[in-house]
Structure 1
Amino acid sequence: MNRLFPRVAVAAALTVGLCGLTFAQTKIGFVAPLSGPQALVGQDQLDGFLLALDQLGGKLGGQPAAVVREDDQLKPEVGQQAVRKLIDRDKVDAIVGLSFSNVLMGSLPRLVESGVVTIATNAGPSPIAGAQCKANLFSMAWQNDGAAEAMGKFVQDRGIKRVYLMAPNYQAGKDMLAGFKRHYKGQIVDEVYTQVNQPDYSAEIAQLQASGAEAVFVFYPGGMGINFVKQFNQAGLTGKLPMYSVFTVDGTTLPSLRDAAVGVVGGAMYDASLDTPENRKFVSAFEARFKRTPSLYAAAGYDAANVLDLAFKKAGGDASKLAASVKAAGSEFKSVRGPFRFGKNNMPVQNYYAFETVREGGKPVTRQIGVPLTAHVDPYAAQCTL
């Protein structure tokens, strides 16, 4: 039989008469950095997923669900070990997370070979959006370039002529800067790549300060963003040199950055300030449970659980139908971010918004100031043969 649910975890064995019965569970592998500087990014994705699972009564598609957590430590080799364990030993029905593009790309061969449905909740690298797209690989978050493309268009529309670019030196960093340049037509003063998880940016900020740029565009997620923005502020550049960003000032970093982030404009597919019925419900539930405001990472994790719930129902226990069911579910469920569907390459087709951090009511908050890209299809989809 070609069934989805025989992969089981036994919580307890119950014997009724002469028959041994077990409660079968759908098993979901969750891989993310749960330690180190980027742990806040991974934890928010996990918390969003678990919140949705709790609201679904601990079930996906009506079947009791268990989540097997793995910490990839933002190291591709550790991520590969985790993925192999989840597939070969834990026999999971789907994998969620794979938060950073270098970890996802490192695990790509085993994921493709296994055919296990994988939903990335913080990555959409350009190779798998294009020629290397696969039917079992999805991004619930974004194609990496998308938010940066929105900021490129936003900065272009503002008439800024000279921009300095900065990002960490890995696949997502390169995708972000490529995305910005796709829509920005002014002068790129310099394009600087720093080490992943670099703690000190004083030398790079000094170079930026002396560059003569009118603005800076940066991609520094999680702990990297906290360090960079604080050091930018300490250098006296806040309020003097406009900062445009993606994944740098968000729900995970703003509590630490506070006033240092005021004035920063960021591009994203989601912010807790979005005014939709689904988002108001999500934000209220997340804040009540975790005592903090959800980030875009939490939103992606939350949406992933709800998509899987609908997909498992559609698949009806047939593993061969799960990937197609995920694709269909993407067009039917109600995302907290607004309009959403999976494109031909299994990347999101969605709006990208512009948010500014402002001081309001005695504290820094984010407010929507534009929608640079609506129902945006990434530029790599045409290369996908799905």
Structure 2
Amino acid sequence: MKKNLKALIAVALTTFAFQVHAEDKVRLGFIAALSGPLGVLGAEQQRGLDLALEHLNNRLGNRTVELYTADSRGNPGVAVQEVSKLIDRDDVDIVTGATASNEVVALVKPIAAAGLTLVGSNGGPSPLAGKNCSPAYFSVAFQNDQWSEGMGKYMNEQGIKRAYFIGMDYQAGWDHVGGAERTFEGERLAKVFTPQSQLDFSAELAQIRAAKPDGVFAFYPGGAAIAFVKQYAQSGLDIPLFSNAGLVDTLFLDAFGEDALGVTVTSNYSAKLNNSANKKFVEDFSKKYGRDPSFYAAQQYDAVMLLNQAIAKLPEGKFDREKAQDLIGTTSFDSVRGNFEFNRNHMPIQTVYALKVVKGDDGKLALNLEGVATESAEDPYVAECQMGK
């Protein structure tokens, strides 16, 4: 009888241990524009995700990762439909990714309503930085104005007195152009926005020529960026072009040919940053993909590394979604960007760098690290956010 009882207890304990172990997992949702006009950006985000999970042996905080992927196509309506599947069908514990700022705005409401958290790896729309800041949204990337405020300051340092501002007519375009305009101290000749579908800029370039500025600030992402930069160079305009890494980044350098030479951008990331986390990231990314990583990959890599450290603090057993949200904003991690922290509106406080497109020793285009545009950059909307007060 005693032997049978011991055997039953052993079986029960084994079963219990197996159940606890089985619960020690995290169902990770990843949503990004994996197809459509911004598909190249989402694919780069996924490269950062894949490399991070590879470095972590497919575990986050000692929990096995079950990955569920959704394609937003860069469309806010589609993004909401796809994240609803991640929530209702896949029962994910947490969501990361998101590519375009307008889809980020659309995603936060359903994610928050489900009691989940979005750890965004690209963009930081201004509505979510101020009055509509949310406990359910963290941007590991940047607040949109942040890069461009740094560029406005940099343009001042470069002696630009008369500037022309142009960008794509959507949330990120308004934020980026507004940020550069806000910190630029010279004369603002014009502020022009063009439709998202526009790829022919001949009329706008003629207007720029007629305005005779000392410098031009332009924000366009994806295919529109390539079209604008190429047409700008081929128009013969001998006017310095300024932007941020949304316009010209490592990911697109080959597509520009030599038309991007001399363009200066700001970014929160450079593959040349000298810290141990970035050295490992760049070395392994380059081995895997044959080039330096872009900021899209770097930000998604950082998002996963942050989640790894935050989730490691959770108690064993069933994933505590509410506790995970609390931990994300207060957990430190080794960012590939060096110093990194969240402001109380869940937007980053970080350094913004100036980078210039040059021809490297190998004859290929490269982004040269020119220096720091802004140290410990915040965003202009945090005072409107009521979280943390």
Q: Give the TM-score of the pair, scaled to structure 1.
A: 0.91
- How many Å separate the matches in 2 of 1:94 and 1:72? 16
- How many Å separate the matches in 2 of 1:271 and 1:200? 30
1:99 aligns to 2:119 (yes or no):
no
Kindly indicate whether the alpha-carbon contact (under 8 Å) linking 1:250 and 1:271 is maintained by their aligned counterparts in 2: no
Choose which of 312, 322, 325 in structure 1 pairs with 2:324: 322
- How many Å separate the matches in 2 of 1:211 and 1:71? 42
Partner of 1:122: 122
| Structure 1: gaps of 5 or more residues | 1-15
| 1:253-272 → structure 2 map (5 Å cutoff) | 253-272=252-271
* Cα displacement (A) at 1:130: 0.8
Give the aligned length: 367
Kindly indicate whether the alpha-carbon contact (under 8 Å) linking 1:273 and 1:366 is maintained by their aligned counterparts in 2: no
Kindly indicate whether the alpha-carbon contact (under 8 Å) linking 2:37 and 2:74 is maintained by their aligned counterparts in 1: no
1:279 aligns to 2:278 (yes or no):
yes
Q: Which amino acid aligns with 1:303?
A: D
Indicate the SS of the match to 1:84.
Answer: helix
- How many Å separate the matches in 2 of 1:26 and 1:294? 27
* Cα displacement (A) at 1:53: 0.7
| 1:209-220 → structure 2 map (5 Å cutoff) | 209-220=209-220
Kindly indicate whether the alpha-carbon contact (under 8 Å) linking 2:27 and 2:66 is maintained by their aligned counterparts in 1: yes
Kindly indicate whether the alpha-carbon contact (under 8 Å) linking 1:37 and 1:224 is maintained by their aligned counterparts in 2: no
Q: Deviations over 1:211-251 (max 9, x none)?
A: 211111011122221111111122122xx110001111101
- How many Å separate the matches in 1 of 2:17 and 2:65? 23
Indicate the SS of the match to 1:85.
Answer: helix
Kindly indicate whether the alpha-carbon contact (under 8 Å) linking 1:222 and 1:252 is maintained by their aligned counterparts in 2: no
Partner of 1:8: none
Kindly indicate whether the alpha-carbon contact (under 8 Å) linking 1:223 and 1:253 is maintained by their aligned counterparts in 2: no
Partner of 2:29: 29
| Structure 2: gaps of 5 or more residues | 1-13
Q: Which has the larger radius of gyration?
A: 2
- How many Å separate the matches in 1 of 2:22 and 2:290? 33
% same residue: 39
1:372 aligns to 2:343 (yes or no):
no
- How many Å separate the matches in 1 of 2:28 and 2:256? 34
- How many Å separate the matches in 2 of 1:276 and 1:260? 31
Partner of 1:245: 243
Partner of 2:304: 305
Kindly indicate whether the alpha-carbon contact (under 8 Å) linking 1:267 and 1:352 is maintained by their aligned counterparts in 2: yes
Q: Deviations over 1:161-192 (max 9, x none)?
A: 11111111111110111111221021111111
- How many Å separate the matches in 2 of 1:197 and 1:48? 28
| 1:375-386 → structure 2 map (5 Å cutoff) | 375-386=376-387
Kindly indicate whether the alpha-carbon contact (under 8 Å) linking 2:198 and 2:224 is maintained by their aligned counterparts in 1: yes
Q: Which amino acid aligns with 2:273?
A: L
Indicate the SS of the match to 1:30.
Answer: strand
Out of 277-286 and 108-117, give the one that drifted further.
108-117
CA distance 1:18–1:121, shift in 2 (3 Å): closer
- How many Å separate the matches in 2 of 1:260 and 1:367? 16
Quote the RMSD (CA, aligned, Å): 1.8
- How many Å separate the matches in 2 of 1:17 and 1:278? 40
* Cα displacement (A) at 1:20: 9.0
- How many Å separate the matches in 1 of 2:67 and 2:250? 24
- How many Å separate the matches in 2 of 1:324 and 1:232? 46
* Cα displacement (A) at 1:23: 4.8
Indicate the SS of the match to 1:252.
Answer: helix
* Cα displacement (A) at 1:41: 1.0
- How many Å separate the matches in 2 of 1:17 and 1:192? 66
Q: Give the TM-score of the pair, scaled to structure 2.
A: 0.90
Out of 185-194 and 297-306, give the one that drifted further.
185-194
Out of 106-115 and 350-359, give the one that drifted further.
106-115
Partner of 1:4: none
- How many Å separate the matches in 1 of 2:224 and 2:111? 28
Indicate the SS of the match to 1:73.
Answer: coil
Q: Which amino acid aligns with 1:66?
A: E
CA distance 1:18–1:61, shift in 2 (3 Å): closer
Kindly indicate whether the alpha-carbon contact (under 8 Å) linking 2:116 and 2:322 is maintained by their aligned counterparts in 1: no
Indicate the SS of the match to 1:321.
Answer: helix
* Cα displacement (A) at 1:385: 1.3
Partner of 1:65: 65
- How many Å separate the matches in 1 of 2:304 and 2:291? 20
Kindly indicate whether the alpha-carbon contact (under 8 Å) linking 1:136 and 1:323 is maintained by their aligned counterparts in 2: yes
Q: Which amino acid aligns with 1:279?
A: N
Q: Which amino acid aligns with 2:337?
A: R
